[in-house]
Structure 1
Amino acid sequence: MEQINPCTTCGACCAQFRVSFYWAEALERGLPEEFYGPLTPTMAHMLGTNCRKPRCAALSGEVGQETRCAVYDARPSPCRSVEPGDEKCLRARSSYGLAGL
């Protein structure tokens, strides 16, 4: 029986946190330029996440319903560090009124 990834029906973390990372990581991972921008001389951020109400430019769909990351395989390390059910996940889900995992 195939297990469904809970992230594909959530997306809350992608619409909750700023995603900043060392600029060279984008090149190393092959992250398309239209999804990130400069933050400082050495740091970059995922577009859409560096604002008062963040939502990553790579996120499509409706949070809590059905979502998809357009750059999943090339996503930077901060995105990779959030695990389903961890503290950041639960905080993001809570902010959207979603139950914990």
Structure 2
Amino acid sequence: MSEFSPCLDCGACCSTFRVSFYWGESDSAPGGVVPDRLIEQVTPHMSCMQGTNQPQPRCVALMGDVGSAVRCSIYENRSSTCREFPFHGENGLESPDCQRARALHGLPPLPSNPRGPGQAPPVAA
């Protein structure tokens, strides 16, 4: 069953921000899952997804067109940064970074709580 997630037709965050994370999340480290072939080293202890450390970032794992149908090609193996980035209205909370990324790509803002008070929209698993 497919559940509502504005991320499935957005992808703005993946094309706005540098996706940095601790190098130990790389699959070349014990317990790491992020494919090493898709990351670059930023500092001795931090890595980022290829393509996101650019003046016009776009994560190498993002498939599709921003604002249309998008998906992450490594969704099950994405970094903690991606796992923890909330869309605006998720769990009834504001996300100024999500709204800013959407605006930079010409996408309309998301409502704070599209399902009503106390009802956060479900996310795709």
**TM superposition score normalised by structure 2:** 0.75
Question: What is the CA–CA distance in structure 2 between the aligned matches of 1:34 and 1:25, rounded to whole Å?
Answer: 13
Secondary structure class of the residue paired with 1:64: coil
Q: Does 1:89 align with 2:89?
A: no
Say if 1:18 and 1:46, in contact at 8 Å, map to a contact too.
Answer: yes
Report the CA distance between 1:81 and its aligned residue.
2.0
Q: Note the 1:38-77 alignment, pairs <5 A.
A: 38-77=41-80
**TM superposition score normalised by structure 1:** 0.91
CA RMSD of aligned residues (A): 1.4
Larger RCO of the pair (alpha carbons < 8 Å, separation 6+): 1
Cα-to-partner distance string for 1:7-36 (whole Å, 9 max, x where unaligned):
010000000000111100223341112211
Report the CA distance between 1:55 and its aligned residue.
0.1
Say if 1:29 and 1:76, in contact at 8 Å, map to a contact too.
Answer: no
Cα-to-partner distance string for 1:48-87 (whole Å, 9 max, x where unaligned):
0001000000001000001010111111111122111122
Question: What is the CA–CA distance in structure 2 between the aligned matches of 1:68 and 1:99, rounded to whole Å?
Answer: 19
Secondary structure class of the residue paired with 1:91: helix
Q: Which runs of 5+ in 2 are unaligned?
A: 89-94, 111-125
Which structure shows the higher helix fraction? Answer: 1
Bigger drift between 87-96 and 29-38 goes to: 29-38
Paired positions, count: 101
Which structure shows the higher strand fraction? Answer: 1
Q: Note the 1:15-26 alignment, pairs <5 A.
A: 15-26=15-26
